[in-house]
Amino acid sequence: MEALATGHLFALTGAVLVGLGLFGFITLRHALRQLLAVNVSGAGVFLMLGGLGRGAATTDPFPQALVITGIVVAVALTAFGAALILRQAEEDHAAKEDDERGGKT
């Protein structure tokens, strides 16, 4: 009974995280915040997946293997997204400076 309850705990927490992430993605406008919101949702999905392998006596390693792979993929994409956001910020900054210089002369 307790094992069942903890199993549900993982799934329910995961669902809450997915929902929070989605809410954040829709309501937040800044790209960095949206990227973090997607990560919160991703953590929720990984929690659900991770909780699946939990049995009464033994633990099925298959879902865990998927979660590890998924986390690696998610980290890579987050780093890539962060680099893109940085590049965008640099471009915006340069464009703004150009505007100001153009305004003075």
Contact 53, 60 (CB under 8 A): yes
> Minimum Å distance from CB 101 to another protein?
22
Distance CA 39, CA 25 (A): 10
Binding mask 39-78 for another protein (x = CB under 8 A): --xx--x--xx--x---------xx--x--xx--x--xx-
Per DSSP (E only), the strands in 7-77 are: none
SS3 58: coil
Residue type for position 22:
L
Q: Does 6 bind another protein (CB under 8 A)?
A: no
List, in sequence order, every residue forming a beta bridge with 54; answer none if it has no partner: 59
Q: Does 31 bind another protein (CB under 8 A)?
A: yes
Which residues sit at the interface with another protein, rule CB under 8 A?
18, 21, 25, 31, 34-35, 38, 41-42, 45, 48-49, 52, 62-63, 66, 69-70, 73, 76-77, 80-81, 84-85, 87-88, 91
